[in-house]
Amino acid sequence: MITTIQLNENVKKALDRLKTNKETYEDIIVKMINQIDEQNRNHIELMIEGAKETAEESLKITKEFEAIEEDFDWEWKDN
């Protein structure tokens, strides 16, 4: 189904600047949607990688702390 949409003149001018001779407005919009989807996927992958690195670093610190924990006589005092 084909539908008609209304655009402000400044939006049409911006789309015109993105167009090549043979591209339609739909082509430009689909290309932008695909670029946004790709950016979102990349962002999610970077967030996952960052979380993994943070978890690994946290695990290293925990293991280091556990290694020295038995060397100390820790006592919690209630005030």
The torsion angles phi and psi of 3, rounded to 5 degrees, stand at -130, 165
Q: Which residues of 70-79 are buried (b: 16+ CB within 10 A; e: fewer)?
A: eeeeeeeeee
pLDDT tens digits, 4-50: 999 999 999 999 999 988 999 999 999 999 999 999 999 999 999 99
CB 28 within 8 A of CB 18: yes
Q: Could you tell me the residue ranges of all domains in the chain?
A: 26-69
Residue 4's SS3 state is: coil
Alpha-carbon span 20 to 60, nearest angstrom:
53
Per-residue model confidence (pLDDT) at position 30: 96
d(CA 74, CA 43): 43
